[in-house]
Amino acid sequence: MSLLEVSGLHVWFEPPHAAEVHAVQGVSFALDPGERFGLVGESGCGKTTTILALMGLLPPNASVAGEVLINGQNILAGGEDSVQAYRWKDVAMVFQGAMNALNPVKKVGWQIAEPMAFHDIAQGAAARKRAGELLELVGIPAAAGERYPHEFSGGMRQRAAIAMALACEPKILLADEPTTALDVMVQAQILELLTGLSRNLGLALVLVTHDLPVVAQVCERAAVMYAGEIVEAGPTEMLYHAPRHPYTRLLFAATPDLYGQDAVISIPGTPPRLDSELPGCPFRARCDVPLERCAGEHPELRLVGPGHQAACHRNELVEAS
């Protein structure tokens, strides 16, 4: 049994006066303790919606189907009531831009201690002491808890946001673009911190980002999302060296590398709208090697190697030959 098991997750949004949007279309993945898993794709592919669903934090106009099991218990079974027991205690999240969401008029230490009281973990002096320990854990001196967010640098604020997420000792940490607004050197510091937390505390990490090199350096496994689906998943090494979906290959080709010699090519077109059912493969219109059957037949995610899955009709051609 895995620590986290997501199977057949669907999310629909019902915007007022517009057609229903099928933002997440049957996403499944599993995670063991201490594992670092990347979720990558362009904006609008459903990565953030997926992890918000795991936290039970989707807006009221969203409906969710599928299962999210933590240690075998379906946390979505009873709606908000059942999620609440797991949120922050088992699964916690560092939101995109969290470093800019700290309350500017409250001391950082107070902001870390506050949710502990709410979740009955610690009160008063004990909570403040624990806040200090958490700050130390993320590489900030405990005494800095007496300072205000504006006295912190961007990197320190992001560390404080991570400390907050760790307040209730979660087993799973979801990090949404945790380094996007940061400089390379600070990005390296934060990635080193996240990797260390997963190694030393056995924290399972889900890293959501559009930055493939970041995933390549931090995660052992990753899933590439496109139009609300996982189109390829597997060891990051396989995704780079032997991609089995054209989208994965093209995403890497569109990313410049420091020492890369090959031309950097953009992917033509834009992702499809998700407010109507798409016949065939969702990537067909932008694919550089489409087949005739891609127009009418939706490719399913199939095993193409050990722990490696892809949803592309071309893989069946390879198997047949």
Partner 1 sequence: MSGNGQAGPAAAGAVGTTAPEVPLLEVADLKTYYQVRRGLTERVARTPQMWVHAVDGVSFRLARGEMMALVGESGCGKTTTAQTILGMVKPTSGSILLNGTDVAKLGERQLRPLRRTLQMIYQDPYESLDPRFRVRESVEEPMLVHGIGSSRADREKLAVEALERAGLAPARVYLDRFPHELSGGQRQRVAIAAALVLGPDLLLADEPVSMLDVSVRAGVLTLLDTLRRDGDMGILMITHDLSTAARFADRIAVMYLGRIVEHGPASDVVRNPQHPYTKALLSVVPKRDPRERAAPQILKGETPNPIEVPSGCRFHPRCPVAVERCQVEDPQLRLPAAATSPAHQAACLLV
Please give the residue ranges that form the binding site for partner 1 (CB under 8 A): 42-43, 153-155, 183-189, 191-192, 210-214, 216-217, 236-237, 240-241, 250-252, 254-260, 264-267, 270
Nearer to partner 1 by Cβ, of 167 and 231: the residue is 231
Q: Which CB sits closer to partner 1, 42 or 136?
A: 42
Q: How far is the CB of 296 from partner 1 (least distance, A)?
A: 25
**Distances from the Cα of 165 to the Cαs of 95, 179, 205, in angstroms?**
9, 16, 12
CB of 19 to partner 1, least distance (A): 18
- Taking alpha carbons only, the member of 166, 158, 102 closest to residue 133 is 166
As measured in angstroms, the least distance from the Cβ of 37 to partner 1 is 13
Closer by beta carbon to partner 1, 87 or else 157:
157
Sheet holding 172-176, edge to edge: 91-94, 172-176, 204-209, 36-40, 221-226, 229-235, 308-310, 302-305
For residue 223, what are the β-bridge partners? 39, 233
| 21-31 sheet: strands from edge to edge | 21-31, 4-13, 62-70, 73-74
Judged by beta carbon, residue 4 or residue 214, the one nearer partner 1 is: 214
| Residue 131: closest CA among 143, 149, 118 | 143
Least distance (Å) between residue 269 CB and partner 1: 9
Contact 7, 64 (CB under 8 A): no
Nearer to partner 1, 43 or 321 (CB): 43
The H or E element spanning position 80 is helix 80-86
- Residue 192 or 275 having the CB closest to partner 1: 192
- Least separation in angstroms between residue 128's CB and partner 1 is 26
CB of 276 to partner 1, least distance (A): 19
